[in-house]
Amino acid sequence: MRKIILSFLMLLPGAVLAAGGGVHLDKANIDVGNQQSLQRGARLFVNYCLSCHSAQFQRYNRMGRDLGLTDAQVIDNLMFASDKVGAPMTIAMTPADGKAWFGAAPPDLSLIARSRGVDYLYTYMRTFYVDEARPFGTNNVTFPSVGMPNVLWELQGVQKPVYKTIERDGETHDVLDHLELVEPGTRTPAEFDQDIRDLVAFMAYVGEPIQLERKALGVKVIIFLLVFLVVAYLLKKEYWKDIH
């Protein structure tokens, strides 16, 4: 029992981290079994994320195979940082350069969906807003004072914060109410939301490429155990019938 309680307590920091520090998280509603969604997410990832963030535990050919793509399709459409289809998804930027340019080296994204949670990523990528006080002119509701610029601003457009005044402890405070789109992007809000779902679905896949097989195998194991339970019960009755 002590080990169970200890294991539960060890999981709490990760749960708090995934919850986004009290910020409301929108549901991502992704489908990692949708190959078309994963393909679109992979295209967004290599075009907008892979310049600064690596996914070094994922190989291009493994990604292509899982996403229903041939090596030739991967090379022609998804490989801009390597010339070997069996290479991992790394970047040329060094951690030292990343720290000098952004204040901190951009993290590898192989396991970001597992450490942060898909709802966190979905909300984070959609909540950038204009903030002239920040080095890149943008801030983020989900991750305040983040060092990352809004790399998808051309797709999403430009958002500004709208504040409301509340009273707390006898004092008035201005708090963020919502974000308002002041400059449309090339995608409509609904299309951009779907783009982010595709991107998050791809990152969830990268975090555990075998998850669909694992879940399918888990269902088979549960069915086997249920069938075996019936067989074991009938055997038990047969063996002990003369005693009971």
Establish if 218 belongs to a structural domain.
Answer: no
Q: How many domains are contained in the chain?
A: 1
**Cβ atoms of 185 and 154 closer than 8 Å:** yes
Instruction: Return the pLDDT at 168.
Output: 80
The one-character DSSP state at 172 is E
Per-residue model confidence as pLDDT tens digits over 152-191: 999 999 999 999 888 887 788 888 889 999 999 999 999 9
Read off the tokens for 190. 């609904």
Establish if 146 belongs to a structural domain.
Answer: yes
Establish if 13 belongs to a structural domain.
Answer: yes
Instruction: Return the pLDDT at 187.
Output: 97
- Say which residue the tokens 């982010």 belong to: 196
3-class DSSP state of 17: helix
Instruction: Return the pLDDT at 2.
Output: 56
Give pTM, 2 decimals: 0.81
Instruction: Return the pLDDT at 23.
Output: 83
Establish if 120 belongs to a structural domain.
Answer: yes
**Cβ atoms of 122 and 192 closer than 8 Å:** no
DSSP string spanning 129-163? EE-TTSTTSEEESSSTT-S---TTHHHHEEEEEEE
Instruction: Return the pLDDT at 19.
Output: 44
Domain membership of residue 49 as a residue range: 2-207
The one-character DSSP state at 164 is E
Per-residue model confidence as pLDDT tens digits over 86-108: 999 999 888 898 888 888 899 99
State which residues of the chain have pLDDT below 50: 3-20
Establish if 123 belongs to a structural domain.
Answer: yes
Task: Give the Cα separation of 129 and 25 in Å (integer).
Answer: 16
Establish if 236 belongs to a structural domain.
Answer: no
Instruction: Return the pLDDT at 169.
Output: 79
**Cβ atoms of 89 and 54 closer than 8 Å:** yes
Establish if 230 belongs to a structural domain.
Answer: no
Q: 157: domain CATH number?
A: 1.10.760.10
The one-character DSSP state at 108 is P
Return the exposure string of 195-234: e unless at least 16 CB atoms fall within 10 Å of the residue's CB, then b. Answer: bbbbbbbbbbbbbebeeeeeeeeeeeeeeeeeeeeeeeee
Establish if 220 belongs to a structural domain.
Answer: no
